Amino acid sequence: MDKYFSVFKISLAHEFAYKLNFLIWRFRNIIQILVFFFLWSSVDSTYFGYSQSEIFAYAFLLIIIRSIVMSTKANDVSGYVSSGELSNYLVKPINFFKYLLSKDLAVKMLNIAFSFFEVTILYLILKPNLFIQTNPIQLILFIISLIFAVFIFFSIIILSSSAPFWVPEIGWGVQFLVISIFVEFLSGAFFPLDVFPKPIYEFLKLTPFPYLVFIPIKTYLGNMSTFETTKNLLLGGLWTIILWLLMNKVWKKGLKVYEAFGR
Amino acid sequence: MDKVIIVDHLSKNFTVNEGGTGIKTTIKSLFTKQNKKIVRALKEISFTIQKGELVGFIGPNGAGKTTTMKVLSGLLYPTSGFVSVLDFDPFGKFREFLKQISLVMGQKNQLWWDLPVINSFEFNRVIYDVKEKDYKRNLDNLVSLLGVSSLLNTQVRKLSLGQRMKMELIASLIYKPKVLFLDEPTIGLDLVAQQALRDFIYEYNKKEEATILLTSHNMSDLVDLARRVIVVGEGEIVYDGAFDELTTKFAGEKIIKITLSEEVNQKKLEEVGVVKKYNYPYCYISVPRSTVAFAAAEVLQKFPVVDLNIEEVAVEDIVRKVFKGELKS
């Protein structure tokens, strides 16, 4: 464990070296939230079954959840694979995924700290009517759903990063498709997914994407039946396991065809 | 466990897409299946290396040296054949295995780009479970040897290429690996540092009984370090044996070195053999090994010779041939 704590420490130091980069990344997040916020405050938001205070809570939660779930160094992995930089990590006596997750812990902590700061600022500027969840059980379930989300996102990114094992030139394209289209759009990061017609909404919930953003937020808001909440939690857990196993399998296959380019 | 490295009928194939250049071919390649070609990078090579041996691994570019090293360090999955290093299957990437080996490549970058170098070393100390005391001693030793003690607190990005190479080496050696794969370790280093590094490798090999496989295109690296060489060409082993015997095995000629008392027309000298160099009064004539005695007698008879010596072809010339890919077994 000592090893991975060391990874955590050095990653934290490394992140601080990229101050400007980090601030710009945070700025991008805030802009996305503002777009969401103004879009929804201009329509009659009760229309889709959300009260205004709930939709504001949704927007603010987005900031924090994005920091927890979507800030990850796994994004760099497809580049490592196609450039051969991965070799540096493979010859070290560490588990690559644990290494990445330790790094992520540092990155996520920084992002979370910043997102709380931003939420406070935005709250003071916009002075919205916010819904605060006080039920401890709901909060615990919310945290569990977040942990699932972290691992689902990580697995999805590593899975899409494995494509360059077979097609080295593809790296960036797959990443863009996966993150922008599927993840951003279908996870609920742009709008609550229950604005979709019911059959589509129900279908989407069978895919792993809503468990990244939408389901955790729903769990926080707590406006679902106990049955619905339990079902979501179970499905989220199931996807976490399936994707984790799949990721390991694909990665192992990838390593067998890995060509360690660059020399 | 005398045999540290065992390679038996190892083959490695790569598939490459044979794409052309230009927009037209690129677009076409999106819709049609590309021509896949199989490149046989290693063709059933076999060798073993004993504990404490220092072996030079030489051959022209693209002969399969680096590929072999990548297989031995567990990066590449062998297409067929058996490989064992320190009794481990390298591809298994066992922690105990990885802790004992080091792969040093000219272009590898394991340093944390935006942090002072010392952080990267400290990081490796933890990753490789090096005891604080050993770490300190190794670090001091390596740092003074390579003359970089004043740079330890410098950001990696601010180092020059040569300085970074030295730091990479320190990071790779700080945990005292038992098996070293050195792929062009002196690339980018100045002459002083090259010599320092050679001395270090020599000492390290002796003191720690480390097993070292070294590739280099730097003649001095080989002459100074390698007692045994494995020559590869086009994925096959062309020669495996003592460095000194490379000459007897591969030089079909010997060199007659003569000192003349008066200048002779080079044309006349050519009648005896190939004149390698003529710089009056010295002349070097290359003649086939089998007829060297006859040629020497002829030289003595025909020309005003003060001194005559029969020499082996310089090992450097053989190695040069190796790099050109001219050696065939």
Which residue has better confidence, B36 or A260?
A: A260
Give B106's contacts in chain A (Cβ within 8 Å). Answer: 263
- pLDDT higher than threshold 90 for residue A101: yes
Give A257's contacts in chain B (Cβ within 8 Å). Answer: 77
Distance CA A111, CA A114 (A): 5
Among the partner-chain residues B110, B126, B183, the one whose CB lies closest to the CB of A3 is B126
Dihedral angle over CA of A260, A261, A263, B5, nearest 10: 20
The minimum CA-CA distance between B77 and chain A, rounded to whole Å, is 5
Helix (H) or strand (E) holding A106: helix A96-126
Give B99's contacts in chain A (Cβ within 8 Å). Answer: 93
Distance CA A60, CA A130 (A): 9
Question: Tell me, what's the pLDDT at B7?
Answer: 96
Question: Tell me, what's the pLDDT at B234?
Answer: 87
Least confident of A81-85, B212-216, B246-250: B246-250
Among the listed residues A122, A146, A127, A13, the one whose alpha carbon sits nearest the alpha carbon of residue A71: A146
Among the partner-chain residues A10, A85, A259, the one whose CB lies closest to the CB of B119 is A10
Read off the tokens for A124: 């003071």
Which residue has better confidence, A121 or B79?
A: B79
Least confident of A119-123, A240-244, B224-228: A119-123
Give A92's contacts in chain B (Cβ within 8 Å). Answer: 98, 110, 127
Q: Report the pLDDT averaged over residues B148-176.
A: 90
- pLDDT higher than threshold 80 for residue A81: yes
Q: Report the pLDDT averaged over residues A214-237.
A: 91
- DSSP code of B271? T
- pLDDT higher than threshold 70 for residue A45: no
Question: Tell me, what's the pLDDT at A172?
Answer: 67
Quick check: A94 contacting B, CB < 8 Å? yes
Which residue has better confidence, B299 or B100?
A: B100
Question: 10 Å Cβ neighbour count for B13?
Answer: 14
Cβ-defined contact of A93 to B127 (cutoff 8 Å): yes
pLDDT in tens, B107-121: 667 888 889 999 999
Question: Tell me, what's the pLDDT at B311?
Answer: 83
At B237, the pLDDT band (50, 70, 90 cuts) reads: very high
* Average pLDDT, rounded, for chain B: 87
Supply the angle between the helices B132-146 and B117-127 in degrees, to the nearest 10.
140
Cβ-defined contact of A87 to B70 (cutoff 8 Å): yes
At B61, the pLDDT band (50, 70, 90 cuts) reads: confident
The H helix count followed by the E strand count for chain A is: 13, 0
Strands of the sheet containing B36-50, edge to edge, are B36-50, B3-17, B80-85
Among the listed residues A30, A26, A50, the one whose alpha carbon sits nearest the alpha carbon of residue A40: A50
The minimum CA-CA distance between A258 and chain B, rounded to whole Å, is 6
Which residue has better confidence, B272 or A95?
A: A95
Cβ-defined contact of A258 to B76 (cutoff 8 Å): yes
Q: Report the pLDDT averaged over residues A126-150.
A: 89
Among the listed residues B91, B95, B94, B88, the one whose alpha carbon sits nearest the alpha carbon of residue B80: B91
Question: Tell me, what's the pLDDT at B1?
Answer: 54
Cβ-defined contact of B108 to A93 (cutoff 8 Å): no
Among the partner-chain residues A2, A88, A93, the one whose CB lies closest to the CB of B99 is A93
Cβ-defined contact of A91 to B98 (cutoff 8 Å): yes
Question: Tell me, what's the pLDDT at B162?
Answer: 82
At A136, the pLDDT band (50, 70, 90 cuts) reads: very high
- pLDDT higher than threshold 90 for residue A3: no
Q: Report the pLDDT averaged over residues B289-293.
A: 87
Distance CA B191, CA A168 (A): 38
Read off the tokens for A135: 């039920």
Nearest chain A alpha carbon to B109:
A88
Question: Tell me, what's the pLDDT at A171?
Answer: 61
- pLDDT higher than threshold 60 for residue A47: no
- pLDDT higher than threshold 80 for residue B156: yes
Distance CA B116, CA A115 (A): 29
- pLDDT higher than threshold 70 for residue B329: no
- pLDDT higher than threshold 70 for residue A262: no
The amino acid occupying position B146 is L
**Core vs surface per residue A23-37: b (16+ CB within 10 A) or e:** eeebeebbebbeebb
Give A256's contacts in chain B (Cβ within 8 Å). Answer: 77
The minimum CA-CA distance between A155 and chain B, rounded to whole Å, is 21
How many beta-carbon pairs under 8 angstroms link A with B? 64
Phi, psi dihedral angles at B29 (to 5 degrees): -70, -15
Strands of the sheet containing B54-58, edge to edge, are B101-105, B179-183, B211-215, B54-58, B228-233, B236-242
Nearest chain B alpha carbon to A18:
B114
Quick check: A252 contacting B, CB < 8 Å? no
Question: Tell me, what's the pLDDT at A2?
Answer: 80
Among the listed residues B299, B301, B300, the one whose alpha carbon sits nearest the alpha carbon of residue B287: B299
Pairing of strands B101-105, B179-183: parallel
| Interface-testing mutation among B68, B114, B216, with chain A (most A C-beta atoms within 10 A) | B114
Cβ-defined contact of B107 to A262 (cutoff 8 Å): yes
pLDDT over 70 for what percent of chain B? 92
Among the partner-chain residues A14, A255, A257, the one whose CB lies closest to the CB of B114 is A14
Cβ-defined contact of A263 to B110 (cutoff 8 Å): no
Quick check: A98 contacting B, CB < 8 Å? no
Q: Report the pLDDT averaged over residues A144-162.
A: 94
Q: Report the pLDDT averaged over residues B122-145.
A: 92
* Average pLDDT, rounded, for chain A: 86
Distance CA A257, CA A162 (A): 11
Question: Tell me, what's the pLDDT at A191?
Answer: 81
